Structure 1
């Protein structure tokens, strides 16, 4: 049985507001765009800041609270699409920076907005198999480095940031009850990076169609398999894709918008870090017995859902 024990996150100091973008790109209608994205500012990594740096800072914040953890962690999963370098992996480089034991298993996964759910799926399986007991999931990206500065859609939407989620076999504030991950490779063209030195190419209409016609129906099916009514769920934590995407899910699932929190306004779309950061931001509201459904979706195209219960 796996639990989420705690979460910490780190955001770069540099903040790019819509007013800043308007000064640079006066031809962009940022006010109208914000109605669809929900984003009014985002944190941007400096030129010398990498996803590894952001992840390291997040883990440091966690270890400041739990110093003993550096000797107890036995697996480290680093989810990123913007690693410092092709090899070795960010997880191995972070292992060195944290001076962890040689007994710690380290590996990266190359997923984006579904990455946190996929990482939880892996951590849950490692704990269920008895192979691991204390796991760090580090989700970090610096999408600003692979965004065309002249692409209004992506530049206004994405921010940079990192989170670390401590998954434990020994208890926590949320118990993982059910988790599924899925893939539709035939839809991969909706969001691609053709070459390492190129820019992201996002088909916004295609992504929204994927959310509407694939993710939403599958989420309805997932909830039905839990044998609970959607009204019994206390919080729905979705990947912070955009306000338009969140509203699409609210409409398709006929949800109370008050049960679907978002932090897009001051953080933007933080890729694989979006869900754990949102969860950390509203963790004080979670009570024992609360039912939570999380869903992440994006590049691949891939998606996954998790059902958790407050302990």
Structure 2
């Protein structure tokens, strides 16, 4: 599905990263592999260090910390927020929506659009798409898009396929109307036949968590995980990304009448270093234009990776400069999405540590 938006812009990006840092070497003995095997994978996949929350910290805590930071710095005012959108797959509760939890704890105004979106790695553009649509309303001037996940709690400590990569975090993106008339191009695609490629089998109403779903079982690759944990069929996900994402980006750029070289940066979701590098090779894009340095520093935090990647690599520059940026997320669902837009001259673009 092709999308098009006019007169909309991002005016600020804030990343919120937990202070707790875990090194790959600290967990290497959890896995049923030799150290030599694991260290070889470290170089290829980007295993290094990741940030995870402490016990008891939820996504609402991360989001509220970041929003209060913006309020205190006078970068955002509570009364300005007309829309609050939260993209997550690790909510505080089944109900109510975590967006309303955040709304209540901050004491935001009642005249506001407030909603959760259940979306994973493709969720950054999903949240932005929703914000762009809301801004079509005369009564909505500023929308806050929250992306947050704490999926480290849903990964087995003995699963080398997901454990060393999974991090936690949140991001806050401010979206407003733009009188300059710039056009934003987007694409959204889904393939529900691949839902089993990346899934947490237990914990919902289909298969509630029990003592049995918590039991660790060894898989064919030598990883131990339970039905309560993230289960990823790595080969299927890798093949899906390499097959579908380059085609989507080609179509997106063609619709926008833009050549691949005209794009300043390709800020893509960061599942692991190897996958991003292979994707850049398949698309004929340099590593300088498609950074792959997030997982090795912070871990894969689902839809949070794209805004953190932007602030980590371009933070100070985006306060003074403007770039044509292609955003793309891809993962469970299966779902994949992208946006092509000008980003720059932001009020803020930084990453801060969450402090309990």
After superposition, the CA RMSD in angstroms is: 2.0
Q: Secondary structure at the match of 1:153?
A: coil
Structure 1 residue aligned with 2:113, among 91, 100, 105? 105
Question: Partner of 1:248: helix, strand, or coil?
Answer: helix
Aligned to 1:268: 299
**Residues in 2 aligned to 1:170 and 1:97: alpha-carbon distance in whole angstroms:** 30
User: C-alpha separation between the residues in 2 aligned to 1:156 and 1:274?
Assistant: 15
- Report the Cα distance in structure 2 between the residues aligned to 1:102 and 1:176, rounded to whole angstroms: 31
Could you say which residue in structure 2 is the equivalent of 1:41?
49
Superposed displacement of residue 49, structure 1: 0.6
Aligned residues of 2:70 and 2:76 also touching (Cα < 8 A)? no
Query: 5+ residue gaps in structure 1?
Result: none
Structure 2-normalised TM-score?
0.82
Deviation at 1:278, TM superposition (A): 1.1
- 1:122-271 alignment, distance < 5 Å: 122-169=130-177, 177-196=184-203, 197=209, 198-262=228-292, 263-271=294-302
Matched ranges for 1:7-156 at <5 A: 7-25=13-31, 27=33, 29-66=37-74, 69-156=77-164
CA distance in 1, matches of 2:230, 2:343: 37
For the 8 Å contact 2:31–2:159, the answer to whether it is kept is no
**Conserved 8 A contact 1:288-1:309:** no
Counterpart check, 1:284 vs 2:316: yes
Per-residue CA deviations over 1:17-58 (Å, capped at 9, x if unaligned) read 012112544735432222232131001111111111112212
- The change in CA–CA distance for 1:154 and 1:63 in structure 2 (over 3 A counts) is same
Single out whichever of 47-56 and 30-39 deviates more from structure 2.
30-39
| Larger CA Rg, structure 1 vs 2 | 2
Tell me the TM-score normalised to structure 1 length. 0.94
List runs of 5+ in structure 2 lacking aligned partners. 1-6, 204-208, 210-227, 345-356
Q: What is the CA distance between 1:201 and its match in structure 2?
A: 0.7
Q: Secondary structure at the match of 1:139?
A: strand
Query: Is the partner of 1:258 in helix, strand or coil?
Result: coil
Question: Which digits, 9 at most, give the CA deviation of each residue in 1:113-165, with x for residues without a partner?
Answer: 00111011111111124352211111111111111121111101110111111
* Residues 220-278 of structure 1 deviation map (CA, whole Å, 9 limit, x = unaligned): 22112211110111111000111121112111111121111232221111101110111
Conserved? CA contact 1:121–1:181, under 8 Å: no
The DSSP-based 3-state class of the residue aligned with 1:122 is helix
Deviation at 1:289, TM superposition (A): 5.0
